[in-house]
Amino acid sequence: MTENTSRTVGEELQAARLDKGLSLDDIQATTKIQKRYLAAIENGQFDQLPGAFYERAFTRQYAAAVGVDADELIKKHEGDVAPALAATEPVPDMSNARVDADNITRTGMHRAEESAIEKTRGLIPKIIAVIAIIAVIGLIWALVSTFASNAKNNATSASSEVVTTTSKVASSKKNSAAKSETTKSGTSKKTASAKSASAKNTTTIGTPTISGTTSTIAITTNTAKAHTLVLTAAGDVWSQVTIDGSQVYYQTLPGSTSKEIEVPANAQSISLHFGNADNVTVQFDGKDVTMNNTSLVWTATLNLTDN
């Protein structure tokens, strides 16, 4: 965009702002674009923006905020504006999207599979029961064999031992049954405890609620532990990340790169602000966060609650 044409576009946007009685602070609050970038647009100083892409993104966002049709503005200056301002916005690829059982649309995620440990825990009660039955059968067989051998040598002694052996067998069955029940009870408690711990560590990403240029997304997780936030850029993306009011990341993320950010334990809110938002994907603890953005300049607010 030439400096003369940029200054003309900037003057038109400034005039529209003043007609509405708005300040640069008002426009900054509406668009989330920093005041110094808005001033640069009005003054035709586009070299002050983060990159060439932002001439188009920030100018269109400014125009929408003051009620100016960006397409008509471009058409009015047709032949003078740079291709970056008139370029169309890319369309996100949703070819791999799916809707899971929780009614959330996700892309690029594999469904969680039951772990080998969980499968093994489910078999433990059955294995213990089988071992107990085999032990009882073996004990009975040993006692019967002993009784038969003694009966051959002494019929009188054999008759006396029948009563004793029968008593021992009955007692052994009762003890084995009691041990089996105790073992099953202990295993059931361990299984229930393991399931409770698993549920505590489960993270659920909610469906975004859109208001203006902001998505609000509820995330249910174990807030007592630290988490991981990953930003992945397909093209250059201006990014700002704020956790509980403290800015932790603020710069342009180059295309084909990722940025991993640690979310501390007990964090309650994460604010993400992007320029060229169509080129960025967000993951929280390995799960995709869908923003459903309708603009290149976009804000996503993640509210964390304990499960």
Q: Based on the domain organization, do 218 and 170 belong to the same domain?
A: no
User: For residue 107, what pLDDT band results from cuts at 50, 70 and 90?
Assistant: very low
Residue 40 pLDDT greater than 50, yes or no: yes
**Of the segments 166-170, 171-175, 257-261, which one has the largest average pLDDT value?**
257-261
Is residue 106 included in any domain, yes or no? Answer: no
**Going by C-beta distance under 8 Å and a sequence separation of 6 or more, which residues neighbour residue 150?**
157, 158, 161
- Residue where a domain terminates, one of 44, 64, 86: 86
- Give the Cα separation of 146 and 143 in Å (integer): 5
CATH at residue 15? 1.10.260.40
Average pLDDT over residues 186-201: 63
Residue span of the structural domain in which 249 resides: 203-306
Is residue 252 included in any domain, yes or no? Answer: yes
Are 265 and 243 in contact, with CB atoms under 8 Å apart? no
Q: Based on the domain organization, do 221 and 298 belong to the same domain?
A: yes
Report field, pTM of the whole predicted structure over 0.85: no
Give the per-residue pLDDT at 218. 93
Q: Based on the domain organization, do 272 and 216 belong to the same domain?
A: yes
Average pLDDT over residues 3-32: 85
Q: Based on the domain organization, do 208 and 192 belong to the same domain?
A: no
Is residue 257 included in any domain, yes or no? Answer: yes
Q: Based on the domain organization, do 138 and 75 belong to the same domain?
A: no
Q: Based on the domain organization, do 53 and 77 belong to the same domain?
A: yes
Query: 3-class DSSP state for residue 241?
Result: strand
Q: Could you report the per-residue pLDDT of 123-162, keeping only the tens digit for each?
A: 888 989 989 899 888 888 788 577 556 545 543 443 444 2
Give the per-residue pLDDT at 5. 47
Q: Based on the domain organization, do 127 and 170 belong to the same domain?
A: yes
Give the chain's length.
307
Q: Based on the domain organization, do 265 and 173 belong to the same domain?
A: no
Distances (CA, A) of 233 to 123, 125, 246, 256, 296: 45, 49, 23, 6, 13
Q: Based on the domain organization, do 258 and 271 belong to the same domain?
A: yes
Residue 24 pLDDT greater than 70, yes or no: yes
CATH at residue 225? 2.60.40
- Give the Cα separation of 288 and 292 in Å (integer): 12
User: For residue 184, what pLDDT band results from cuts at 50, 70 and 90?
Assistant: low
User: For residue 53, what pLDDT band results from cuts at 50, 70 and 90?
Assistant: confident
Locate 61 and state its tokens: 């966002």
- Residue where a domain terminates, one of 151, 176, 200: 200
- Give the Cα separation of 86 and 60 in Å (integer): 10
**Going by C-beta distance under 8 Å and a sequence separation of 6 or more, which residues neighbour residue 92?**
278
Residue 305 pLDDT greater than 60, yes or no: yes
- Provide the terminal-to-terminal Cα distance of the chain, rounded to the nearest Å: 51
Domain count, the chain: 3
Residue 76 pLDDT greater than 90, yes or no: no
- Give the Cα separation of 234 and 4 in Å (integer): 33
Is residue 111 included in any domain, yes or no? Answer: no
Distances (CA, A) of 238 to 51, 71, 197, 213, 272: 9, 23, 39, 16, 11
Residue with tokens 């576009």: 9
Q: Based on the domain organization, do 153 and 212 belong to the same domain?
A: no
Is residue 95 included in any domain, yes or no? Answer: no
Q: Based on the domain organization, do 79 and 18 belong to the same domain?
A: yes
Is residue 67 included in any domain, yes or no? Answer: yes
- Residue where a domain terminates, one of 141, 171, 200: 200
Average pLDDT over residues 169-175: 52
Is residue 92 included in any domain, yes or no? Answer: no
Q: Based on the domain organization, do 293 and 213 belong to the same domain?
A: yes
